[in-house]
Amino acid sequence: MTTETAEKMIELLIVRQEDPDSKPFEEKFSIPYRSNMNVISALMEIRRNPVNAEGQDTTPVAWDASCLEEVCGACSMVINGKPRQSCTALIDKLEQPIRLEPMSTFPVMRDLTVDRSRMFDSLKRVKAWVPIDGTYDLGPGPRMPEAKRQWAYELSKCMSCGVCLQACPNVNDKSEFIGPAALSQVRLFNAHPTGAMHKAERLETIMDGDGGIANCGNSQNCVEACPKEIPLTTSIAALNRATTLQSFKNFFGSDTV
């Protein structure tokens, strides 16, 4: 290691909060630079040696992570003003000082750790799963056409990270909007041959004016922010058509519409 590399430091400005009822505050950190570092490795360095930029002992920063390869979605946070995954945020590509904040859409538990229950409750509300109880003994299910399987696979990449909800201006503490992640999952599971058993129920759920699809303002921030590049706005457009058809079916009391 050269002298120049050894003296190079990483400057971080972290928005911290001791507990859900505490006021947030900022704390600066300066840690040694290593090549190929990401934000998670920088936070690990602070955890190993919890001393702030003023040389004062402090508490380790609380943050969530699991897979460290952009699959679990747990390490979402706001990095330099942009919601993203901290495991794929490389230090060399970030402007310093690197500002880390928790996602404000969700309640802060401590520091960078948030409670994403709002998103998980929305997924439960729209039944974002394929029911299999009692079907395991019926043999293989119907096959999906390859073209449908390919775009359904793109939707299945969702890791429930919450980044799209953070980016959406319609998801906030004054709105019950379930957000783009849950809406996209409605389209995914309604397209599944077995999941379609609850198609009408899912559509009627998102047709509910209390947090349903009508609350989408079409800002398209979600599709720009999604780390998996899921076509969220395409799903929302498709669901607008599907809910219109479902409303006709409900009005005429027929499945032939």
pLDDT of residue 253: 80
Q: Where in the chain is the domain with CATH 1.10.1060.10?
A: 117-252
Q: Position 30: which residue type?
A: S
The set of residues, in sequence order, having a beta carbon less than 8 Å from that of 84 and lying 6+ positions away, is 76, 77, 78, 163, 225, 227
What is the pLDDT confidence band of residue 1, given thresholds at 50, 70 and 90?
very low
pLDDT of residue 134: 66
Q: Position 209: which residue type?
A: G
Q: Where in the chain is the domain with CATH 3.10.20.30?
A: 9-114
pLDDT of residue 254: 66
Written out in words, the top-level CATH class of the domain with range 117-252 is mainly alpha
Rounded Cα distance, 68 and 61, in Å: 17
pLDDT above 70: percentage of residues in the chain: 93
pLDDT of residue 5: 46
Average pLDDT, the chain: 92
115 C-beta neighbours (distance < 10 Å), count: 12
Domain 9-114 superfamily per CATH: Beta-grasp domain (3.10.20.30)
The set of residues, in sequence order, having a beta carbon less than 8 Å from that of 250 and lying 6+ positions away, is 204
What is the pLDDT confidence band of residue 40, given thresholds at 50, 70 and 90?
very high
Q: Position 206: which residue type?
A: I
Entry pTM? 0.89
pLDDT above 90: percentage of residues in the chain: 84
What the block records as the tokens of 187 is 């389209």
pLDDT of residue 6: 53
What is the pLDDT confidence band of residue 62, given thresholds at 50, 70 and 90?
very high
Q: Is the pLDDT of residue 3 over 80?
A: no
pLDDT of residue 133: 72
Q: Is the pLDDT of residue 91 over 90?
A: yes
Dihedral pair phi/psi, residue 6, rounded to 5°: -65, -30
Q: Are 17 and 111 in contact (CB under 8 A)?
A: yes
pLDDT digits 0-9 by tens, 98-155: 999 999 999 999 999 999 999 999 999 999 998 877 656 666 778 889 999 999 999 9
Q: Checking phi first, is residue 36 left (phi over 0); if not, alpha (psi -120 to 50) or beta? A: left
114 C-beta neighbours (distance < 10 Å), count: 24
User: Which DSSP category does 68 fall into?
Assistant: S
